[in-house]
Amino acid sequence: MKKLSLFALVALFAFTACNSNTEKSEGTETLTQESPAEVVAKEVSITINAGDDMKFDLAEIKVKEGQTVKITLNHTGKLAKEAMGHNWALLTQGTIVSDFAAKAMQAKDTDYIPAGATEVIVHTKLIGGGQTDTIEFVAPAKGVYEFICTFPGHSALMKGTFYVE
């Protein structure tokens, strides 16, 4: 009888200790998930402006892997797209920007995005002054990517880094 009680006590203690451990670790996890810094929004909206000065107003964009990314490109200038066209094209990793820009330059009929170009992950339309275009896509795998405007001569200035974290 005495032995049994001791056993029961030990078992109860072990159960309690184990249970409290589990609760503690679960509690910590829940706290981490609820902490604002750790919350990953499902969607992120980014606005990029570019005018007749041939510049994007963002040099860096940071998103999270798997996030739905909404990019809005605004052409804040006055010039037509034939003279000062802008688009926003996200390039695959390893693409040599100058090589691709040279190739894109020849694709006037398709607004300087070569048909079936494997170097482009996503891109907006080519737009002129006062126009805007929005695209939505799922962020690619973690890594560092580059974005450019593929209008002839623009990528030298119109470029930036797209980080997927």
How far apart CA 58 and CA 6 sit, in angstroms, is 69
Round to whole Å and give the CA distance between 10 and 149: 70
Q: How far is the CB of 108 from Co ion (least distance, A)?
A: 14
Q: How far apart (Å, rounded) are the C-alpha atoms in residues 51 and 57? A: 9
Is the Cβ of residue 66 or residue 152 nearer to Co ion in the bound state? 152
Nearer to Co ion, 50 or 164 (CB): 50
Q: Which is nearer to Co ion, 71 or 158 (CB)?
A: 158
Looking at the DSSP bridge assignments, the partners of residue 91 are 120, 146
Please say which residue, 69 or 73, places its beta carbon nearer to Co ion: 73
Length of the chain: 165
Query: Does 149 participate in binding Co ion (rule CB under 5 A)?
Result: yes
Decide: is 159 part of the binding site for Co ion (CB under 5 A): no
How many Å apart are CA 150 and CA 89, to the nearest integer?
A: 7
Question: Binding segment for Co ion among 32-40, 110-118, 120-128, 144-152 (CB under 5 A)?
Answer: 144-152
Least Cβ distance, residue 151 to Co ion (angstroms): 4
Contact 164, 145 (CB under 8 A): yes
CB 49 within 8 A of CB 76: yes
Q: Does 147 participate in binding Co ion (rule CB under 5 A)?
A: no
Stretch binding Co ion (CB under 5 A), from 26-34, 67-75, 121-129, 156-164: 156-164
Take residue 138 and report the two structure tokens written for it. Answer: 């799922």
Q: Per-residue x/- marks for Co ion, 60-99, CB under 5 A?
A: --------------------------x-------------
Helix ranges restricted to H, 35-116: 81-84, 97-104
Chain residues that interact with Co ion, rule: CB under 5 A: 86, 149, 151, 154, 158
